[in-house]
Amino acid sequence: MTTFAMAAAARLNLLIVDDREANLQSLSQLLARDDVAIHTALSGNEALGLMLEHDFALVLLDVQMPGMDGFEVATLMRSHERTRHVPVIFVTAISKDRQHIFSGYDAGAVDYLFKPLDPHVIRAKVAVFLELKRSQQLRERLLDSLSRANSQLEEAAQLKSDYLAAASHELRTPLTAMKEFCSLVHDEIVGPINVEQRRCLETALRNCRRLGGIIEHLVDLDSVESGRLRLARGPVDLAELVRERAAALAERCRGTGPVVEVSLPARRGDAEVLADGELVGSALTQLLDNARKFSPPTGTIRIRVRRLGDNVTVEVADRGPGIAPTHRARVTRKYTQVDRRDGPGEQGLGLGLAIATRLLELQDSRLDLVSTPGLGSIFGFTLPRYGAGAHLRAFCGDAVHQAARRWEPWCLVLVRDRRGLPLPGWLTDAAGQLVEGLDERRGVVPVQGVPTLLALVRSGQAGPAAWVDELAGREPVGGEAAELEWVAVVVDETGAPAEVPPAEVWSCLVPAAAPATEGVWR
């Protein structure tokens, strides 16, 4: 039976409370339905007892009863966790005075019905609350089903990651030994070899490198898909990064591969972007490896970095066989090989471009492709130029978006030197020691032109003031003096921080009690 069918088939409980037996019987007959179990009570105490035994969709509660009246019953219901959210409709024959009605709503009523009752009205109102209860039950079942399915998926993903980690470790060890021994023989360390033996060893070494690359790709892709990668964006000199990776590629291509050409901006600082340098470097390496694989030995790989307004682009061009228009959408999919595989170069699993695509998507970028069959391909991506304001937003947004419980409230604590001086090293070290989980982040970002320590903490826990107090408690003796101040701002569920207040709103950061010896807080 489906979840929806189970919810529809379940009978709902309705409670009618009245001190007159005749009223209970008439209401029970009026509201009788096959999908509803009607319970009755002649007093408030009896009604409260039934509520502890059954889950009621609705309570029809008479106001005027001897002993405990309807208002008292409703008040007691609201004080108990089990019955706090059960809807109550008061049924009364007494005054329709506004103050009397307000008293009922204050006690927890959701509606009022006045005697004599209109059968059509009471049936309609009861039907609405019963349908609401069914919707709630269905939602709870669906959420429970989704939660179980999600737990199973997380367990399966963890098992896959564990297996992959163990397998990669077991493969790397013998592979490294094979490669080293082949290199010893190839380089004639252990004795001379002939031309045919050298050719065989070169083939063996090439396949060792290929297998090592496949292992690295599998591990990298699993890290991206499992969410274990922690994005940490900051200022990155893209020109310097490209220069380093291009030099490494040129070294690999020396003598046997294509020529590597690099074009960089003339002005220093034109290629400074907001990015995670390690992840961008990994994506760039994948693009360069792809270009090397599909370039003929006499070809040229051209790498160009240029500033376009508020962005910086990187382009990697090869003179390989190119990609047909019908295959371009497939090249970034996992384990996909298109007709370029017939060209020169090493073969793989088709993971390099998939990894590069996902690493760039983590940083709000994308992998672009321009290709002409027979003439080659150009892969590229664009990143925003660095700005302190964007860095602050990225610091918060990246942490919240990757958090396990992103819906929980967050706040951002900012600590800086009042004189605008660089922060002492011990302060950032102390802040790093206060990290209470993978979700919480620490970092230094320029805010209002001043180097500022940022700490993203959950406001639902101890809160920013408690965090600052604990930070102050880490004060070293005889350390570097600093005149520190702090402030906290709210971070919403999208990861956007509130505006940082002006300097006069910031508070001095001092320890709760003066240390026995002179410290650094001023």
Q: Which of 1-5, 14-18, 66-70, 93-97 has the highest mean pLDDT?
A: 14-18
**Whether residue 238 sits in one domain with residue 363:** yes
**Whether residue 221 sits in one domain with residue 239:** no
Q: What is the CATH number of the domain that holds 461?
A: 3.30.70
88-92 and 111-114 beta bridge pairing:
parallel
Note the pLDDT of residue 340. Answer: 45
**Whether residue 328 sits in one domain with residue 244:** yes
Note the pLDDT of residue 341. Answer: 44
Note the pLDDT of residue 301. Answer: 93
Q: What share of the chain is helix, strand, coil (3-state, %, to 5)?
A: 45, 20, 35
CA dihedral 511, 512, 517, 521 (to 10 degrees): 20
Q: What is the mean pLDDT of residues 87-97?
A: 74
- Report the sign of the C-alpha dihedral through residues 155, 160, 161, 162, in that order: positive
**Whether residue 100 sits in one domain with residue 177:** no
**Whether residue 211 sits in one domain with residue 113:** no
Q: What is the CATH number of the domain that holds 351?
A: 3.30.565.10
What SS3 state is found at 416?
strand
Q: Is residue 516 part of a domain?
A: no
Confidence of residue 402 (pLDDT cuts 50, 70, 90): confident
Boundary residue ending a domain (204, 225, 246): 225
Lowest mean pLDDT among 12-26, 58-72, 283-297, 342-356: 342-356
**Whether residue 204 sits in one domain with residue 260:** no
Q: Is residue 513 part of a domain?
A: no
pLDDT surpasses 90 at 457: no
Name the nearest CA neighbour of 46 among 71, 15, 23: 15
Q: Which residues pair with 490 in a beta bridge?
A: 411
Q: Is residue 188 part of a domain?
A: yes
**Whether residue 426 sits in one domain with residue 361:** no
Confidence of residue 324 (pLDDT cuts 50, 70, 90): confident
Q: Is residue 389 part of a domain?
A: no
Rounded CA separation 276/289 (Å): 20
Query: Which domain does 420 fall in, by range?
Result: 405-508
Boundary residue ending a domain (225, 257, 287): 225
CA dihedral 259, 265, 266, 271 (to 10 degrees): -130
**Whether residue 417 sits in one domain with residue 495:** yes
Q: What is the CATH number of the domain that holds 154?
A: 1.10.287
Domain tally, the chain: 4
Query: The tokens 């090493």 sit on which residue?
Result: 346
pLDDT surpasses 50 at 370: yes
**Whether residue 261 sits in one domain with residue 203:** no
Q: Is residue 212 part of a domain?
A: yes
Boundary residue ending a domain (191, 225, 259): 225
Q: Is residue 221 part of a domain?
A: yes
pLDDT in tens, 22-78: 888 988 888 898 889 999 999 988 988 898 889 999 999 888 888 888 888 888 888
Note the pLDDT of residue 406. Answer: 63
First and final CA of the chain: distance in angstroms? 69
Contact 376, 322 (CB under 8 A): yes
Average pLDDT, the chain: 81
**Whether residue 89 sits in one domain with residue 15:** yes
**Whether residue 344 sits in one domain with residue 469:** no
Q: Around Cβ 32, how many Cβ atoms within 10 Å?
A: 10
Note the pLDDT of residue 101. Answer: 58
Lowest mean pLDDT among 289-293, 459-463, 483-487, 517-521: 517-521
Note the pLDDT of residue 369. Answer: 92
Q: What is the CATH number of the domain that holds 56?
A: 3.40.50.2300
Q: At what angle do helices 277-293 and 238-253 cross, to 10 degrees?
A: 30
pLDDT in tens, 168-217: 767 777 888 888 888 888 888 888 989 888 888 888 887 787 777 667 76
Q: Is residue 76 part of a domain?
A: yes
pLDDT in tens, 223-273: 766 666 778 899 999 999 999 999 989 988 887 779 999 999 988 889 999
pLDDT surpasses 60 at 478: no
**Whether residue 151 sits in one domain with residue 186:** yes
Q: Is residue 397 part of a domain?
A: no
Q: Which residues pair with 14 in a beta bridge?
A: 38, 58
pLDDT surpasses 60 at 97: no
Q: Which residues pair with 273 in a beta bridge?
A: 236, 385
